[in-house]
């Protein structure tokens, strides 16, 4: 207990999946957590669950592609909990796949906006806010950007998602260097999950397309499992534990790094 004691965190996309697991993990280890999401009922339920378990959390509705709302979320963290030290840029979508030649510019731009522009906005306003509460000799800050294995390797019919998540990986490195050179004592790292058994991935299963193949949901699940040498999909708590590590001082020498938690998917 207490690995992030006394720190204030924002977790985007906190209503379900990796975001919900991360918000709860940070709260269990002592952080005060702002849960943000477009899903008001789901996000409030996670904040209430944290409070019922003895933690401190609040919920705020948040469209992550709206810059004004980013400013409001950062201000909410300061007003409600007295500062900000940790930001987890988790919110995102897994768009319907399709060949580049058939993809519309509108759908391309939507994916890039939600999966990449939102991380830019989060880093921008996260750095501006967190730096007020960190110093070289004092408490450190941490920004964790949730990318994907598809930010490391290509996959057919996923050009927009590949581009967005690859962009998150290199945006993370640029932000990490800027913060280090400015002396802000803010570390910036990315996490690259494999396929995790979350509502987002279950939606992908129901679509029945993996690496360009069209199959049924059950066969789709087996195909995905076969891509992971450990022989199973991941669970949200395993990614939350990786985020918790990067949020804590245990990872104090890590910045601009990518932490891959993929059951061996990218090892082949």
- What residues are annotated to the active site? 161
* Beta carbons of 150 and 162 less than 8 angstroms apart: yes
C-alpha span between 226 and 216 (Å, rounded): 15
β-strand pairing of 209-210 with 213-214: antiparallel
Q: Which two three-digit tokens encode residue 263?
A: 């059951």
The pair of structure tokens assigned to 119 is 């991380």
Q: How far apart are CA 119 and CA 70, in angstroms?
A: 11
- Computed on alpha carbons and rounded to an integer, the radius of gyration of the chain in Å comes to 18
Dmax over CA atoms of the chain, in Å, equals: 55
How many residues can be counted in the chain? 268
User: Does residue 186 contact residue 7 with C-beta atoms inside 8 Å?
Assistant: no
What does the DSSP assignment read for 125-136? Answer: HHHHHHGGG--S
């Amino acid at each position: 207990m207490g690995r992030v004691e006394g720190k204030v965190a924002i977790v985007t996309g906190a209503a379900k999946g990796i975001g919900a697991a991360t918000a709860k993990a940070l709260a269990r280890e002592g952080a005060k957590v702002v849960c943000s999401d477009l899903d008001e009922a789901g996000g409030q339920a996670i904040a209430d669950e944290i409070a019922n378990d003895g933690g401190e959390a609040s919920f705020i509705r948040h469209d992550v592609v709206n810059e004004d709302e980013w400013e409001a979320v950062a201000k909410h963290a300061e007003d409600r909990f007295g500062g900000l030290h940790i930001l987890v840029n988790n919110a995102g979508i897994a768009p319907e796949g399709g060949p580049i030649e058939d993809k519309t510019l509108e759908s391309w731009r939507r994916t890039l906006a939600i999966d990449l522009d939102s991380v830019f906005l989060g880093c921008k306003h996260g750095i501006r806010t967190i730096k007020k509460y960190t110093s070289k000799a004092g408490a450190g800050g941490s920004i964790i950007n949730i990318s994907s294995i598809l930010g490391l390797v290509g996959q057919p019919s996923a050009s927009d998602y590949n581009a967005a998540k690859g962009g998150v990986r290199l945006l993370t490195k640029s932000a990490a260097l800027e913060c280090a050179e400015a002396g802000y004592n803010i570390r910036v790292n990315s996490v690259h999950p494999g396929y995790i058994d979350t509502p987002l991935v279950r939606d992908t299963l129901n679509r029945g397309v993996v690496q360009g193949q069209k199959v049924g949901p059950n066969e789709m699940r087996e195909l995905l499992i076969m891509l992971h040498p450990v022989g199973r999909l991941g669970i949200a708590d395993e990614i939350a534990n990786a985020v918790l590590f990067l949020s804590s001082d245990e990872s104090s020498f890590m910045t601009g790094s990518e932490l891959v938690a993929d059951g061996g998917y990218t090892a082949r």
